[in-house]
Amino acid sequence: MSKQRKKSRKVIIPNQSDVKGNNLDGAHVNRQYKDRLFKFLFGSEERKENTLALYNAINGTEYTNVDDLTITTLDDFIYIDMKNDVSFLVADEMDLMEQQSTWNPNMPLRGLIYFGRLYKAYAKTRNLDIYGRARISLPTPKYVVLYNGREHRKEEEIRLSDLYEGTGNVEVIAKVIDINYEDGKAILEHCKILGEYSKFVATMRTNMDAGMSAEEAASATVDKCIEEGILRDILIKHKTEVTGMLFTEFDQEQYDNNRRKEGYEEGEMAERIRIVTRMKAQGMSLVEISELTGLSKEQVEEI
């Protein structure tokens, strides 16, 4: 590779047949899964220059030779529901990148399970004797979560040990980077395709916030971004496919958001019921309880 800050090694990755053949107990499998847009842009052999550009932006490197990079993802099924993962080996690192539109504090556990699968395939394809007396050499794991949910977050690291009930000696760190669109955001400027992806997602959300259905918003977003030169070549070539991905992805996001809202409202009402019950037990009047809780007198009476 030219113009690089580190010495490059030929990138080798477990082939897909080996990865598919190693299924762990308890894994969730869905062989009918269709890739999401992030994986479509950054997780394919056809567009591996995008993956290299993303790696450079995150790590401050300047690798340019895509022929030294071979992409590996756990294709043809969903493993522990990681729908937007891209994994590869480069510069003595085993990199796992995942895009998330909802915040999940359990990501290090997902990474631990995922890396376990990748290392299992790595050892198998190289005939490494993990039970032998000789010390084997492994690439260093690196886990990055690219977050673009509606709740903006600062860059941070979340740790597997944060989930422990006690003290443990196994650690996995997920580095979380907010890639929501914002003018002047460094990572979006350092990786042009990531910047366009981020703006594309922002356009989709704007359309949905304007009252469009997920299907209407997907179509309008693709047309507008083609007009403005955002992911233009990819959208022209794969318009129908990307529109379908976008509709599926954001229809699910809207459903998940509604479920979370319903859960919050149900929990809030349950708490009000407990409070009203205690107030009644203390002999307070319906009017007093109504004023304090915000419930109508009829609601208070029914509890």
- The 3-state DSSP class for residue 15 equals coil
Bridge partners, residue 157, by sequence: 175
* 18: exposed, middle or buried (Cβ count in 10 Å: 0-12, 13-18, 19+): middle
Give mean pLDDT, residues 235-264.
71
- Order of strands, sheet of 85-90, starting from the edge strand that comes earlier in the sequence: 71-72, 85-90, 93-100, 140-147, 173-178, 156-159
* Residue 57: how many other CB atoms lie within 10 Å: 21
pLDDT at 268: 63
Token pair in block for residue 300: 């208070």
Bridge partners for 159 per DSSP: 173
Question: Residue range 134-154: average pLDDT?
Answer: 92
Confidence of residue 257 (pLDDT cuts 50, 70, 90): low
Query: What is the number of other CB atoms lying within 10 angstroms of the CB of residue 4?
Result: 15
> Cα(100)–Cα(149) distance, rounded to whole angstroms?
7
**Average pLDDT, stretch 209-225?**
91
Model-level pTM? 0.71
Predicted confidence (pLDDT) per residue in 28-72, tens digit: 333 333 468 898 999 888 899 999 999 999 999 999 988 878 777
Q: Is residue 8 over pLDDT 60?
A: no
- Tell me how far apart the alpha carbons of residues 120 and 289 are, in angstroms, rounded to a whole number: 61
Look at 18-22, 159-163, 166-170, 201-205 and tell me which has the smallest mean pLDDT. Answer: 18-22
Section 96-109 average pLDDT = 90
What is the chain's mean pLDDT, rounded?
Answer: 80
- Closest by Cα among 135, 138, 137, 155 to 146: 155
Q: How confident is the model at residue 236 (pLDDT cuts 50, 70, 90)?
A: very high
Distance CA 53, CA 187 (A): 11
Contact 161, 153 (CB under 8 A): no
Residue 278 pLDDT > 80 = no
- Residue that is written with structure tokens 């403005």 in the block: 228
With a cut of 80, say whether residue 205 has pLDDT above it.
Answer: yes
Q: How many CB atoms lie within 10 A of CB 91?
A: 22
What confidence tier does 253 reach under pLDDT thresholds 50, 70, 90? Answer: low
CA distances from 218 to 22, 24, 44, 209, 225 (A): 36, 36, 22, 12, 11
